[in-house]
């Protein structure tokens, strides 16, 4: 169970561990009266099993128990990655300084001696539950801050580097035309015009992704799924990509039955298709091939695959492909600019449909084929 699921609970769960049934009954009645959900167990082994099954918010732990004492239970809890943040209050008849120090150095946050006082138990339980909630909240805020910083860094990187390149190229071409237009042949003018168009196209797509990414981060992307033929979505997505494919003599083959329908937001799925096919074009050499296929994976989803015969990806790239804080962008086979932002959008949009995006790739031909295949699944009905 994740920490945020624990911190979001309305009623905290307290696990009480004591081999004396009378002690369990007294503590359970006391804490249940305070509104807590209590899980009493009679042994250390049962405590570990109960904690694994349902992560508690707090553990009250006796020390002197047969088979496994409280020190060992605490040690095992703190070694468990899923449980090591659960606060443990030792509650024992042992009252020597040596025992108290050992309990605290083992991982306990507090120590109550028996015979215990009801008000003390209630106060200390409430205090450590509050501190635990505050720690969890701080950790959640820390993670959110890291995500925000990664997003900010990504934006700055795109603005500082990825936008500058196409802009510089576009401006350079306009300067050549302004300064030497009168001396140029029609072929030279045509060549420069094509270069300007390519730069403008790259800029347009990059800006579109930036705007969509900004909307995603602000929660402004509308989501309006409906039943629609997948082939219609794919064909509309490919219309603006055929020219880029033709320029590299890349053949795009679409093998999707017109009977396959999906329950999806057409605008978002078109963005997914455009970004994935655009990447495939960028990283496929002249004369390569790209195939788009789909199949009904199970009763409720359709699996779409976009496969290319491109240069593939190394394991290092694959491991960081969907991370904002790691730069994985690289130029295409003809120097086309990439940022990795399109893949992040694809992941966001697929997950918005409740689906998953994954990739298989080989840059060394170990499997006999060099290239990449991106897969994603989306619902095929509205159930």
243 shares a domain with 206: no
User: Residue 354 sits in a domain of what CATH number?
Assistant: 3.30.565.10
Distance from chain centroid for Cα 330: 22
- The pLDDT of residue 31: 95
247 shares a domain with 214: no
- The pLDDT of residue 334: 80
Residue where a domain terminates, one of 221, 240, 270: 221
48 shares a domain with 13: yes
284 shares a domain with 189: no
Q: What is the pLDDT of residues 268-299, one digit of tens each?
A: 898 899 889 988 999 999 999 999 999 998 77
- The pLDDT of residue 3: 52
Residue where a domain terminates, one of 86, 107, 140: 140
Of 26-35, 156-165, 196-205, the poorest mean pLDDT is in: 156-165
208 shares a domain with 112: no
234 shares a domain with 326: yes
Domain assignment of residue 116, given as a range: 3-140
pLDDT at 125 over 90: yes
Confidence of residue 201 (pLDDT cuts 50, 70, 90): confident
148 occurs within a structural domain: no
Residue where a domain terminates, one of 93, 125, 140: 140
231 occurs within a structural domain: yes
pLDDT at 160 over 60: no
Structure tokens at 132: 């635990």
154 occurs within a structural domain: no
User: Residue 203 sits in a domain of what CATH number?
Assistant: 1.10.287.130
64 shares a domain with 14: yes
197 shares a domain with 126: no
Q: What is the pLDDT of residues 325-348, one digit of tens each?
A: 566 567 788 877 676 677 888 898
151 occurs within a structural domain: no
158 occurs within a structural domain: no
238 shares a domain with 181: no
How many folded domains does the chain comprise?
3
147 occurs within a structural domain: no
145 occurs within a structural domain: no
- The pLDDT of residue 141: 87
105 shares a domain with 50: yes
Q: What is the pLDDT of residues 211-248, one digit of tens each?
A: 766 676 667 778 889 999 999 999 998 988 888 888 89
pTM score over 0.85: no
User: Residue 47 sits in a domain of what CATH number?
Assistant: 3.40.50.2300
198 shares a domain with 262: no
231 shares a domain with 213: no
């Amino acid at each position: 169970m994740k920490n945020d699921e624990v911190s979001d609970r309305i009623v905290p769960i307290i696990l009480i561990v004591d081999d004396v049934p009378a002690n369990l009954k007294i503590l359970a009645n006391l804490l249940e009266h305070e509104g807590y959900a209590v899980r009493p167990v009679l042994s250390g082994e049962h405590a570990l099993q109960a904690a694994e099954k349902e992560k508690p918010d707090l553990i009250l732990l006796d020390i002197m128990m047969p088979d496994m004492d409280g020190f060992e239970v605490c040690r095992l809890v703190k070694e468990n990655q899923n449980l090591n943040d659960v606060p443990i209050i030792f509650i024992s008849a042992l009252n020597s300084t040596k025992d108290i120090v050992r309990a605290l150095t083992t991982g306990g946050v507090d120590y109550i001696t028996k015979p215990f006082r009801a008000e003390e138990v209630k106060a200390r339980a409430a205090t450590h539950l509050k501190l635990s909630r505050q720690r969890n909240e701080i950790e959640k805020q820390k993670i959110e801050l890291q995500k925000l910083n990664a997003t900010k860094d990504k934006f700055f990187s795109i603005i500082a580097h990825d936008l500058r390149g196409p802009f510089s190229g576009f401006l350079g071409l306009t300067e050549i035309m302004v300064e030497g237009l009168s001396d140029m042949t029609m072929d030279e003018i045509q060549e420069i015009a094509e270069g300007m168009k390519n730069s403008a196209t790259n800029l347009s797509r990059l800006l579109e992704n930036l705007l969509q990414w900004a909307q995603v981060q602000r929660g402004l992307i509308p989501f309006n799924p409906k039943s629609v033929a997948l082939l219609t979505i794919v064909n509309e997505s490919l219309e603006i990509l055929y020219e880029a494919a033709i320029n590299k003599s890349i053949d795009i083959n679409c093998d999707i039955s017109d009977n396959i329908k999906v329950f999806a937001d057409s605008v978002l799925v078109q963005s997914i298709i455009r970004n994935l096919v655009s990447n495939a074009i960028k990283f496929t050499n002249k004369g390569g091939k790209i195939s788009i296929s789909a199949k009904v994976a199970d009763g409720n989803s359709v699996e779409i695959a976009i496969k290319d015969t491109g240069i593939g990806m190394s394991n290092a790239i694959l491991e960081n492909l969907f991370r904002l804080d790691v730069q994985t962008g690289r130029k295409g086979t003809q120097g086309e600019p990439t940022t990795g932002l399109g893949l992040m959008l694809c992941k966001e949009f697929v997950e918005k449909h409740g689906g998953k995006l994954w990739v298989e790739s080989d840059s060394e031909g170990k499997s006999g084929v060099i290239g990449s295949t991106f897969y994603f699944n989306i619902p095929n009905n509205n159930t």
